[in-house]
Every structure is written in structure tokens, then in C-alpha cells.
């Protein structure tokens, strides 16, 4: 039986990870008593007892916790932004290639992908590898997300507004308009792009669901579709759907997989990724990585 510790289990990502693990009979979930949740020595002891620790913490806290790992057999899966482009860290998106999968399986330090970044990378990387998209292409990206991606404070803010209505929070809202969003570095590193995209994230007044859209010009829809089908042919938690079937942004709510599609014509097309921002965009992706690390079925405890 594998011992699992969730550091930061009361946050949105931690709670969703715990939900996915609670019924598992192959795991023992370790937990600290309430009065020791922020005790550094107690946390270090628990991390070094565990086979796998999920860090569901702010970036700066995750950076402080990682050096406390002294057990060479302990694995860290960090859900924060802190290590997504750090040397020596596996990037927790096994569908991106055999090298990514192997690094997760053998890794001791695994960085969970960002939600917006997951959709963008899934759409762009296959096209660059196939030579359909040059690395120096300058892209734009629109990403619509449910408010749960903002954490407990944002959830409370939106749900309070829902009770009163008439509030500005009842409409979609753009954010990170200064083009400094924290997902941009990984969006370049894990696609090979030389330029960060012009990125427009939008938070909306529904709880879960993400739709990442990238417009392109002068590529045939069928060629892009076939590229995706070939690249993700063996993916357990990612599927490619036929063009021509519009779906709402929250259609993947409660699921841990991702669906890609391409729409348009030979002159103008849209690359679209849909998934749950708390599923494949966060907690589901982290559990998928844990399954690979401990040798469990990749989809165990997940909702494809």
C-alpha cells in the first residue's frame, strides 16, 4: 500500500485530489492534525514518510517545502507554478511524448501543468513537432475558465454574487491584461515556441470548465485534425473529436480528460481544447501522474 500526503489539502486543488483518492484501497492517506498543519517540522516528517506528496500550496511556500525532502524514495508532485520550467523537474503531462511519460514514471520531482497552459500546449506542440507550425510563429490565445480556478476566495466571491445577482461578477471578465500571466513561461518551454502568445484569459460565472481557443490562418483543417489523431493515438486521458460539433465550455465538468478539436476552413481555423479546469487542468492531472509513479492503472480513480 502506498502512503500519500496532501500538503494543502484544504485548498481547491487539494480537496479535489482527496476526493479522487478517498475510495482507493491501494493507498493510505496521511494527514496532520489541525494544530500541526503549518508546523514545518511536522510537515517535513510527513513528507519523508510518504511515498508521494502533493503540494497544493502557494508558489513561495512550495519552494520552501521542497528542500525539506531528505528521503530519496519520496516523490513530490507540485501543483503550484513554482517548478514548471525548473531544471530537473518532470512536467506532468504524459501525453506530450514518450520522454515526458518516462520522466514522470522515474521522476522524484514532478510539476503539475497550469490549467490554461495545458490546453494551449496540447494544441500547439503536435503542430510544431509535425512541422505544420514554425517555432517563431506569433500566436494569440483566448481561454475561458470557470471561477473555481481562482481558488477558495474567488469561489466565495462568485457564489456570494450569485446569491444577490445584478453584480458585475455575473458576466465574463478578462484578466491578466498586462500580458504577464504566470502560465506564459511553460506555454513556451513545453511547445518550443520562441514567442509567448498574446494571451486573453477570461473568467466566467460558472463553476468548472475550460475552453482554450487558438486562431490560425492558412492551414487545412483535415491536416491539423490528422496530426492530432496521430500524436494522441495512445492517450488515455485525451481524445480528438471530429469537427462540426460545437460544445459549451463546461461540457467537461467533473471529468479528468481533455478533448481537442479543430474547426474552420483552409483560410481561417480555430484550435480548441475543452476540459475541466479542476480536472485535467489541476487535480485530475496530478492524480494521473501519481498513478504512473506508483505503477497503478493510469486512469485509476479518474473520470475520463
Residues known to be catalytic? 115
CA distance 68 to 48: 8
Among candidates 106, 10, 18, 6, which has minimal Cα distance to 46?
Answer: 6
Residue 120, exposed/middle/buried by CB under 10 A (0-12, 13-18, 19+)?
buried
Among candidates 223, 224, 200, which has minimal Cα distance to 213?
Answer: 200
Which residue is it, cell 491584461? 177
SS3 302: coil
Indicate if the alpha-carbon torsion angle 135, 272, 176, 207 is positive or negative. negative
Q: Name the DSSP letter for residue 37.
A: T
SS3 84: coil
- Cα angle: 89, vertex 92, 98; to 5 degrees: 95
Amino acid at each position: 500500500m502506498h502512503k500519500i500526503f496532501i500538503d494543502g489539502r484544504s485548498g481547491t486543488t487539494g480537496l479535489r485530489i482527496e476526493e479522487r483518492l478517498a475510495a482507493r484501497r491501494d493507498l493510505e492517506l496521511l494527514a496532520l492534525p489541525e494544530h500541526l498543519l503549518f508546523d514545518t517540522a511536522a510537515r517535513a516528517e510527513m513528507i519523508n514518510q510518504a511515498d508521494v506528496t502533493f503540494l497544493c500550496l502557494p508558489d513561495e511556500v512550495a519552494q520552501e517545502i521542497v528542500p525539506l525532502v531528505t528521503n530519496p524514495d519520496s516523490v513530490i508532485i507540485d501543483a503550484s507554478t513554482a517548478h514548471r520550467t525548473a531544471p530537473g523537474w518532470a512536467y506532468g503531462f504524459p501525453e506530450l511524448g514518450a520522454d515526458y511519460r518516462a520522466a514522470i514514471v522515474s521522476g522524484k520531482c514532478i510539476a503539475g501543468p497550469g490549467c490554461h497552459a495545458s490546453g494551449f500546449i496540447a494544441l500547439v506542440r503536435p503542430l510544431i513537432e509535425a512541422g505544420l507550425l514554425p517555432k517563431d510563429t506569433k500566436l494569440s490565445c483566448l481561454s475561458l475558465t470557470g471561477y473555481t480556478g481562482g481558488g477558495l476566495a474567488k469561489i466565495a466571491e462568485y457564489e456570494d454574487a450569485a446569491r444577490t445577482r445584478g453584480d458585475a461578477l455575473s458576466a465574463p471578465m478578462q484578466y491578466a491584461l498586462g500580458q504577464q500571466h504566470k502560465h506564459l513561461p511553460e506555454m513556451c518551454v513545453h511547445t518550443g515556441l520562441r514567442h509567448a502568445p498574446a494571451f486573453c484569459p477570461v473568467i466566467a460565472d460558472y463553476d468548472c470548465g475550460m475552453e482554450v481557443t487558438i486562431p490560425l490562418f492558412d492551414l487545412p483543417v483535415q491536416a491539423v485534425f490528422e496530426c492530432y489523431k496521430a500524436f494522441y493515438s495512445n492517450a488515455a486521458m485525451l481524445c480528438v473529436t471530429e469537427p462540426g460539433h460545437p460544445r459549451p465550455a463546461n461540457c467537461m465538468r467533473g471529468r479528468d480528460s481533455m478533448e481537442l478539436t479543430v474547426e474552420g476552413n483552409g483560410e481561417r481555423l480555430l484550435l480548441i481544447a475543452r476540459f475541466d479546469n479542476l480536472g485535467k487542468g489541476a487535480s485530475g492531472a496530478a492524480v494521473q501522474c501519481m498513478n504512473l509513479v506508483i505503477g497503478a492503472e493510469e486512469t485509476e480513480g479518474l473520470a475520463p
